[in-house]
Structure 1
């Protein structure tokens, strides 16, 4: 009789306790990613005194395509922020993805495509899914986290208010 009770108790505990959702980083963490040219880019290089936007994407993600398109289409609303497009994918794949889905973001002085070669983004920024967009204020504190591509327009409102 004890074995079935243990099994039932374990199953109840497994299904009753929700999985701990990751909490997005409340401040920009220290990191070193790489530009598409292969140069290291550290968090210390983020310009001070302006908001920062991080968009975490995967080149095979349909929702990421939509997010990248929205970011590109609304580029004028991103001008006062430093924008970082971060991926675990390769340099060529990342560049091709941005060229195809957000070409308006290319060659802009405030937009940087970053490759996470050391796999730091996941443990340090703690995204909940692809895509994940973070808006940090000029003090490097999180103002908005968005993981639903349909709600990406909220980030533009937040940037305007910073």
Structure 2
């Protein structure tokens, strides 16, 4: 093996070894609260059946806006899932996001909006890009799939149904 080949292999191994990945089992999310009911914690709201989908987003992010619009237009395909949109932003920014890009998500029983006032989500899930989407099996709390920076609902849906 050439020196370049050895160096390339070592870089690959280092990236694989030190890569931050989503938790394989759902961690506690007690410190994340409902944007519209701050006394309600995310941890106490998790379902025990279907899929749990966390979408970590920034209301001003174009890719996040595209994903919100796509989810809203395809909400009927998420009947077996609970969607938790998590942001670090205040209520007025979340309201703007919903009203401008995700109107179809208002008042849906399986969709809710949450605020991480600290860095809990970032520390536990290690998102690489906005939006960061994580799909868990509700019964087992095991990771099904994660997406980093993906704004196309069509790529996410096969892991939800």
Tell me which interval the TM-score lies in, with the shorter structure as reference length: 0.7 to 0.9
Compute the TM-score of the two structures, normalised by the length of structure 1.
Answer: 0.81
Q: Which residue of 1 aligns with 2:25?
A: 27
Count of paired positions: 146
In structure 1, runs of 5+ residues without a counterpart are 1-11
Alpha-carbon spacing, 1:150–1:40, altered in 2? closer, same or farther (3 Å): closer
Rg (Cα) greater in structure: 1
Superimposed CA distance per residue, residues 36-83 of structure 1 (whole angstroms, 9 cap, x where no aligned partner): 222231324311022101100001211111111111111111121111
Inter-partner Cα distance in structure 2 for 1:119 and 1:150: 23
- For residues 78 and 97 of structure 2, the distance between their equivalents in structure 1, rounded to whole angstroms, comes to 19
Superposition pairs of residues 6-85 of structure 1, within 5 angstroms: 18=15, 20-32=18-30, 33-37=32-36, 38-85=38-85
What is the match of residue 155 of structure 1? 156
C-alpha RMSD of the superposition: 1.9
Compared CA separation, residues 29 and 64, structure 1 to 2 (3 A): same
Q: List alignment gaps of at least 5 residues for structure 2.
A: 1-6
Runs of at least 4 residues of structure 1 off by over 4 A? 16-19
SS of structure 1 residue aligned to 2:83: strand
Cα deviation code 1:105-155 (max 9, x no counterpart): 111111110010132110012111111111111211111111233543222
